[in-house]
Amino acid sequence: MNTRASYDAVADEYVRRIYDELQHKPLDRQLLDRFAASVRGIGPACDMGCGPGPVTRYLHEHGVQICGIDVSPRMVERARLLNPGIEFRAGDMMALAEADGGFAGIAAFYSLIHVPRGDMVQTLRQLHRVLLPGGLILLAFHIGEQTIRLDEWWDQKVCVDFHFFQSAEMTDWLMAAGFEIEEIIEREPYPEIEHQSRRCYLFARQLTADA
């Protein structure tokens, strides 16, 4: 079993437990508002690793021409049911089928946490490739150095790794992939809302047409 199959297995319970979290996270919404204002009217954007689509929906409601891509076909099915009128499709951010320069912006909230450190620069180069020159990326991830492996999740058998990263190492990987860092924001976890880890949000821009 891999990340795709693991998320397929927990998709329904994930929707029940996680889908409405965003309404309880004011900083996340504030940063998504900023992202929306930056890409709105410039071109389409992508919610990369969209899950059942709460971030996709939020950006759509704030005027962004947006699609969602997720590695889990079951998550994509749930996203389509929950968010009619928004395009969702299955895809792997480590090997994207999208054309070069197709997106004005990419939001990737807690999706890079499944990418091993050794694969991160190549994955970020994939995101760089599908952005317009000067395109904006907004990342969110857990701060730390550990990797947590789950073999069981909400009573389902899974095999999925959650990687925590330091802000400085993510900055180095982004620059190696051809991005310019705009801003790094960190916060403490919201009590009783989410996993109790520090969070990092990182705005960066694509510097050139090819990294």
List the CATH number of the domain containing 42.
3.40.50.150
47 in a structural domain: yes
Residue ranges in the chain whose pLDDT is less than 70: 1, 209-211
| 55: helix, strand or coil | helix
Q: What total of structural domains would you count in the chain?
A: 1
Q: What is the pLDDT of residue 1?
A: 58
| Close Cβ partners of 171 (under 8 Å, ≥ 6 residues apart) | 181, 184, 202
State the distance between the two ends of the chain, measured CA to CA, in whole angstroms.
33
Domain membership of residue 111 as a residue range: 3-206
DSSP label at 76?
H
Q: By three-state DSSP, how is residue 66 classified?
A: strand
Within a domain: 211:
no
Residue 142 lies inside a defined structural domain of this protein: yes
pLDDT given at position 210: 47
| Of residues 101, 9, 117, the one with CA closest to residue 46 | 101
Instruction: Look at residue 162 and tell me if it is in a domain.
Output: yes
Where are the alpha helices (H) located in the chain, listed in sequence order?
3-18, 26-39, 54-61, 73-82, 120-129, 167-176
- Integer Cα distance of 32 and 137 in angstroms: 11
